[in-house]
């Protein structure tokens, strides 16, 4: 048989942490001689990095496993990640996967694939008549952070860096503590080593991310708070921007924000998880703050930053949410003046406390509330963007786009507002991706995209 590289196709579902781990698994396979191909191509290995945050995510995970099996019936089908943690036995019984890998086992992927091939470099497979091989640990009883690292990312200018895993909050609607386990922090030396490698590879912006980023360092033998690891990353040459993943409101203290404001590389873009603008709903969600405490955090950010982008998540239609409670949420969202809001209709997640609560809200009511919240989100986002009209802003350029007859290059401001710079005959052939420029904001092209003029 022709000796050739084995081909692997990977598909990611879910959050930025999942996306990071999918990229890390791709690089592990490449290092072990695999050729990475798109999910639409013929492959010897098809891996789905699954999600289980909602019942819909479970369904999408099952659908993608079915699709992989149908498209590549002779391939090794690998189910990995969070859905595996909640439904590993079900996946095995279904026959949809040949290899089932839970969280904290993904770094073993090349080793676990070896038995499925008779010899290295040979496409010929061993018989698949036996049940799926399963490697799923009790994630709720591990304190080990699974080290995975990137040398490159799918994006060319911005790199997501996972520094934390797990969550110990146990919000009443959330399955994550059961699929990701308790909080586990990455060693600072490993974080800094990865940032240096990515900086040397030309990345100018890093995003520090995790399942519960605010708890970073609390489980380390020598506790190192999130603020300290940010300081360490800030000192690495070549990195020009640092962004933070989703934060819990309680980490926003006077000291925390004041220290961040002194670090010029830290972007004034903060995603503060809210979930509801009603105190009674927050209590049912087991969220450990009030709306007034949350608002005080927004005021702190605005005290130290002129125009910070504050974004958030909102769940509408949570069990027992009344019309009055929903109105309270809308009023709070207007008061907080968010730049962007991710609006989710509550989705019952089996295994969580909220799933068994009385007073489940009808689907049509959730849809109406979602529509109203999204309408408000669009208005607030537009108001935030109009602040920039006529101002000169720093933009990290990324990729070209064509609008009508004109060619632009798009990028993001420090507040993560997308902007498009029109290219001229003089600069249209330059390699501009990854370059930081100052450009004057002149208008909006559509879909919230700022237009900007730049004179090199």
Q: What is the DSSP string of 377-423?
A: HHHHHHHHHHTTTT-EEEEEEEEEEEETTEEEEEEEETT--EEEEE-
Residue 401 pLDDT grade (very low, low, confident, very high; cuts 50, 70, 90)? confident
Give the residue-averaged pLDDT of 205-223.
Answer: 95
Per-residue pLDDT of 59-69, as tens digits, reads 999 999 999 99
Per-residue pLDDT of 152-173, as tens digits, reads 887 778 999 999 999 999 999 9
Please say if the pLDDT value at position 22 is more than 90.
Answer: yes
Confidence at residue 4, expressed as pLDDT on a 0 to 100 scale: 76
Residue 129 pLDDT grade (very low, low, confident, very high; cuts 50, 70, 90)? very low
Alpha-carbon span 217 to 226, nearest angstrom: 6
Residue 350 pLDDT grade (very low, low, confident, very high; cuts 50, 70, 90)? confident
Confidence at residue 417, expressed as pLDDT on a 0 to 100 scale: 97
Per-residue pLDDT of 33-57, as tens digits, reads 999 999 889 999 999 999 998 888 9
Confidence at residue 166, expressed as pLDDT on a 0 to 100 scale: 96
Residue 327 pLDDT grade (very low, low, confident, very high; cuts 50, 70, 90)? very high
Calculate ∠ Cα 26-113-102, nearest 5°: 75
Per-residue pLDDT of 244-283, as tens digits, reads 999 999 999 999 999 999 999 999 999 999 999 999 999 9
Alpha-carbon span 312 to 439, nearest angstrom: 28
- The residues that bridge with 411 in the sheet, in sequence order, are 397, 419
Alpha-carbon span 127 to 299, nearest angstrom: 62
pTM greater than the 0.75 cutoff: yes
Residue 426 pLDDT grade (very low, low, confident, very high; cuts 50, 70, 90)? low
Exposure on the CB side of residue 402, measured as CA atoms within 13 A: 2
């Amino acid at each position: 048989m022709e000796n050739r590289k084995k081909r692997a196709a990977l598909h990611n579902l879910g959050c930025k942490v999942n996306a990071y781990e999918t990229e890390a698994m791709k690089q592990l396979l490449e290092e072990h001689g695999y050729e990475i191909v798109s999910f639409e191509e013929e492959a010897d290995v098809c891996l789905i990095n699954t999600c289980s945050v909602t019942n819909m995510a479970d369904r999408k995970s099952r659908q993608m496993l079915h699709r992989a099996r149908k498209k590549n019936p002779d391939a090794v089908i690998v189910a990995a990640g969070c859905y595996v943690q909640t439904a590993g036995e079900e996946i095995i019984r279904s026959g949809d996967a040949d290899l089932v890998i839970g969280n904290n086992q993904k770094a073993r992927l090349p080793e676990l694939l070896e038995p499925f091939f008779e010899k290295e470099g040979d496409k010929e497979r061993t018989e698949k008549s036996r049940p799926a091989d399963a490697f799923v640990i009790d994630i709720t009883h591990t304190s080990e952070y699974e080290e995975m690292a990137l040398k490159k990312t799918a994006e060319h200018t911005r790199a997501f860096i996972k520094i934390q895993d797990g969550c110990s909050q146990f919000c009443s609607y959330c399955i994550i503590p059961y699929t990701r386990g308790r909080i586990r922090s990455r060693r600072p030396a490993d974080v800094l080593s990865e940032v240096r490698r990515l900086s040397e590879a030309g990345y100018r912006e890093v995003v520090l991310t995790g399942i519960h980023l605010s708890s970073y360092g609390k489980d380390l033998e020598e506790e190192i708070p999130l603020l300290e690891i940010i300081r360490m990353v800030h000192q690495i040459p070549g990195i020009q921007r640092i962004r933070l993943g989703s934060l819990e409101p309680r980490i926003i203290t006077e000291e925390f924000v004041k220290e961040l404001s002194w670090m010029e590389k830290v972007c004034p873009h903060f995603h503060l998880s809210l979930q509801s603008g009603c105190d009674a709903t927050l209590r049912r969600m087991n969220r450990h703050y009030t709306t007034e405490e949350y608002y005080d955090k927004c005021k702190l950010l605005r005290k130290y930053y002129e125009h910070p982008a504050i974004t958030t998540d909102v769940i509408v239609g949570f069990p027992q949410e009344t019309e009055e409670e929903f109105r309270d949420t809308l009023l709070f969202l207007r008061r907080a003046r968010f730049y962007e809001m991710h609006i989710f209709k509550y989705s019952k997640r089996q295994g969580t406390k909220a799933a068994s609560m009385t007073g489940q809200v009808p689907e049509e009511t959730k849809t109406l509330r979602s529509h109203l919240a999204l309408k408000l989100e669009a208005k607030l986002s537009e108001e935030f963007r109009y602040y920039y009209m006529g101002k000169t802003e720093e933009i990290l350029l990324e990729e070209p786009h064509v609008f009508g007859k004109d060619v632009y290059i798009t990028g993001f401001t420090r507040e993560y507002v997308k902007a498009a710079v029109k290219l001229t005959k003089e600069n249209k052939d330059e390699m501009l991706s990854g370059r930081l420029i100052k450009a004057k904001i002149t208008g909006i092209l559509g879909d919230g995209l700022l237009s900007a003029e730049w004179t090199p």
